[in-house]
Amino acid sequence: MEWTLWAGFAAGLLISTVTAPVGVSGAVFLLPVQLSVLGVPSPAVTPTNLLFNVVAGPGALWRYRRDGALRGSLARRLVMWTLPGVVAGAAVRVFALPGPDIFRTLVAALLLPLGIWLCLRTLHSARHRPRSGPCEPSPAALAMLALVVGVVGGIYGIGGGSLLGPVLAARGMPLARIAPATLAATFTTSVAGAAAYAVLATASTGPVAADWWLGLACGAGGLIGGYLGARIQPHLPETALRLLLGTLATALGTLYAAQALT
């Protein structure tokens, strides 16, 4: 038991330090670690991941807020539409979709080509001056995107930043604006999702409740790592941040594609 807590702390610290600069909490990378290494059963891994987001989120958010990066409407819009989605997703996860196979296939199909395209586009833009500025999604498109990501996050406990970040970055929005907004949405939806799972656990006989000790240990590492990642983000060039996000998306898509094929 003790080694799993220390392993969870180390995993949360390392993952959050790398992912926080691009607006990803790291829960989506922590998910396979919990399933394959730490032995958390499904669907209990989902609320455990959400608990990680709840504990880890304030570290990066406090730093971004201190730097003034949370100002603007993007974070408010993402939070507004992901919240109802995550509650619906939690209900779907408990009562209709307990297995992870469909999720792995969908994530691989979305993130693998998107990550490769984002890396290639970033490298091309670094060599050639871009012809147009960022193209922000319309309010309706942003609402639909956030709602869908909220449902997916509620089902699989990933918060949604790993999906929102690459999509918004692909539209040309700067990572300095994306990262704080997606982390804010991840934190608020994780709070709602964790609460929803706590209620649903009383109506289910399966392993639905979170592994509290492990979730807290992972979150404690993520709290420190998220702060460190947010602190170094302003010192990284936009090209490096976009390549990091594209690489993370590609790696995640590849990982889940391999798991879906086995």
Tokens 């992912």 sit at which residue? 19
Q: Per the structure block, which two tokens stand in for 66?
A: 């201190």
Q: Quickly tell me which residue has 């939690």 as its tokens.
A: 90
Per-residue pLDDT of the chain (262 residues; tens, 9 = 90+): 688 899 999 999 999 999 999 988 888 788 778 877 888 877 677 788 888 989 999 999 999 988 888 877 888 899 899 888 887 877 776 666 555 666 677 778 877 888 898 888 888 776 665 555 556 688 898 999 999 888 877 776 666 787 888 888 888 888 888 999 999 998 988 888 778 777 776 766 666 667 889 989 999 999 999 999 999 999 999 899 999 998 988 988 888 788 777 7
pLDDT at 103: 65
> Taking the CA of residue 5 as centre, how many other CA atoms within 13 Å lie in the half-sphere pointing to its CB?
8
**CA 145 – CA 227 distance, rounded (Å):** 27
- pLDDT single digits (tens) 196-248: 777 776 766 666 667 889 989 999 999 999 999 999 999 999 899 999 998 98
Mapped onto helix, strand or coil, the DSSP state of residue 85 is helix
Give the 3-state secondary structure of residue 134.
coil
pLDDT at 231: 93
Q: What is the pLDDT of residue 108?
A: 81
3-class SS string, 173-208: CCHHHHHHHHHHHHHHHHHHHHHHHHHHHHHCCCCC
| Amino acid type, 24 | V
Judge contact between 87 and 188, C-beta under 8 A: no
The whole-angstrom separation of Cα 213 and Cα 210 is 9
